[in-house]
């Protein structure tokens, strides 16, 4: 049981380049989330999905797009990377239902640097 | 907008002593609160959670207290150990008709002094 797997773990991009971050979970969770974490700050929600084929904006969605074509995968895309998008990106998934303990499971992060 | 904040950005505690980390939240409709521990280079690690219909919950060496009147959370860690050194975040969960989102505070860095 791998939990939540993020790829790649590290990436350096040049300004204007595009890339896709992949999040995969094997727990059959309905909800998935993308967060970014800047130095000395908490995680901020970029986009999220409450089920296959659905996505919604979080706190800081500008400059990012997402897709959830399969339940187990949640993709985060940067169409034209900017230095302000240098950050550590975390993916999370969640069980539904109030009785679930340890509801949110986080991946280990993708460290992205845009130069 | 809604936010979750922390009173102290850093906290140093002698090994073996108890520590208390505080957190203020602003969304009175949040129904679920979680404390996470984050070590350098790693993702958030679940510590303990509490639902809004409770005011106290205990785990192994950790206790979370919730005061809804003043919108305040605290995390108590008993008999601290060097491995407790990390950044601790509180987070609040808000369920808007099936759209659940978790909002994080900025974190408190806890340092355990040997």
Flag if A104 and B34 touch (Cβ within 8 Å). Answer: yes
Q: Pairing mode, if any, of strands B32-38 and B45-51? A: antiparallel
Query: Each residue of B39-93: pLDDT tens digit?
Result: 988 889 999 999 999 999 999 999 999 999 999 999 999 999 999 999 999 999 9
Residue of A101, A104, A110 to mutate, testing the B interface (most B Cβ within 10 Å of its Cβ): A104
More reliable by pLDDT, A88 or A99: A88
Q: Cβ contacts (< 8 Å) between A104 and chain B: which residues?
A: 34, 46, 102
CA-CA distance, A69 to A79, in Å (whole number)?
Answer: 18
Average pLDDT over residues A8-36: 96
Q: Which two tokens stand for residue B62?
A: 């950790």
Q: Cβ contacts (< 8 Å) between A44 and chain B: which residues?
A: 104
Collapsed DSSP state (helix, strand, coil) of residue B97 = coil
- Chain B nearest-CA distance from A114, in A, is 18
Flag if B4 and A42 touch (Cβ within 8 Å). Answer: yes
CA-CA distance, B4 to A114, in Å (whole number)?
Answer: 28
pLDDT bucket at B2, cuts 50 / 70 / 90: very low
CA contacts within 13 A on the Cβ side of B102:
32
């Amino acid at each position: 049981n791998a939990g939540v797997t993020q790829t790649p773990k590290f990436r350096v991009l040049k300004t204007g380049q595009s890339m896709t971050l992949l999040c995969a979970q094997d727990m059959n969770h309905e909800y998935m989330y993308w967060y970014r974490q800047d130095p000395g700050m908490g995680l901020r929600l970029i986009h999220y999905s409450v089920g296959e084929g659905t996505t919604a904006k979080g706190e800081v969605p500008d400059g990012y797009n997402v897709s959830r074509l399969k339940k187990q995968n949640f993709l985060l895309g940067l169409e034209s990377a900017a230095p302000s998008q240098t950050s550590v990106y975390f993916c999370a998934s969640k069980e539904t239902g109030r009785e679930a303990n340890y509801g949110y499971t986080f991946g280990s992060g993708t460290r992205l640097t845009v130069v | 907008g809604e936010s979750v904040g922390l009173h102290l950005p850093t906290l140093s505690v002698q090994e073996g002593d108890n520590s208390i980390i505080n957190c203020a939240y602003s969304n009175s409709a949040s129904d679920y609160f979680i404390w996470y521990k984050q070590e350098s280079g790693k993702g958030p690690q679940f510590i303990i959670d509490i639902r809004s219909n409770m005011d106290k919950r205990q785990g192994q060496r950790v206790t979370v207290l919730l005061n809804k009147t003043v919108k305040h959370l605290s995390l108590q860690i008993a008999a601290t150990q060097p491995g407790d050194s990390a950044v601790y975040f509180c987070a609040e969960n808000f369920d808007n008709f099936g759209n659940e989102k978790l909002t994080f505070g900025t974190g408190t860095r806890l340092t355990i002094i040997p």
